[in-house]
Chain A
Amino acid sequence: DTEVTQTPKHLVMGMTNKKSLKCEQHMGHRAMYWYKQKAKKPPELMFVYSYEKLSINESVPSRFSPECPNSSLLNLHLHALQPEDSALYLCASSQPGQPLGYTFGSGTRLTVV
Chain B
Amino acid sequence: GESVGLHLPTLSVQEGDNSIINCAYSNSASDYFIWYKQESGKGPQFIIDIRSNMDKRQGQRVTVLLNKTVKHLSLQIAATQPGDSAVYFCAETAGGSYIPTFGRGTSLIVHP
The reply on B27 being an interface residue by CB < 8 A is: no
A90 to B103, CA, bound (A): 16
Asked if B8 contacts A40 (CB within 8 A), the reply is yes
- Give the size category of B's interface with A: 20 to 34
Distance to closest chain A CB from B39 (angstroms):
10
Distance to closest chain B CB from A30 (angstroms):
12
The reply on A106 being an interface residue by CB < 8 A is: yes
Asked if B99 contacts A99 (CB within 8 A), the reply is yes
- The chain A residue sitting closest to B92, CB to CB, is A99
- The chain A residue sitting closest to B49, CB to CB, is A100
Quick one: which of B72-105 are within 8 Å of A by CB? Answer: 87, 89, 93, 98-100, 102-105
Asked if B98 contacts A99 (CB within 8 A), the reply is yes
The reply on A34 being an interface residue by CB < 8 A is: no
User: Among the interface residues A40, A94, A103, which one has the most CB atoms of the partner chain B within 10 A?
Assistant: A40
A99 to B99, CA, bound (A): 6
Contacts of A107 on B, CB cut-off 8 Å? Answer: 42-43
Quick one: which of A62-113 are within 8 Å of B by CB? Answer: 90, 92, 94, 96-100, 102-107, 109
Distance to closest chain A CB from B2 (angstroms):
16
Asked if B98 contacts A97 (CB within 8 A), the reply is yes
Asked if A99 contacts B34 (CB within 8 A), the reply is yes
A107 to B45, CA, bound (A): 12
- The chain A residue sitting closest to B105, CB to CB, is A42
Contact with B along A1-32 (1 / 0, CB 8 A): 00010000000000000000000000000010
What are 14 A-to-B residue pairs whose CB atoms are below 8 Å?
A4-B43, A33-B99, A40-B7, A40-B87, A42-B102, A42-B104, A43-B44, A43-B102, A45-B99, A92-B43, A97-B98, A98-B98, A99-B32, A105-B43
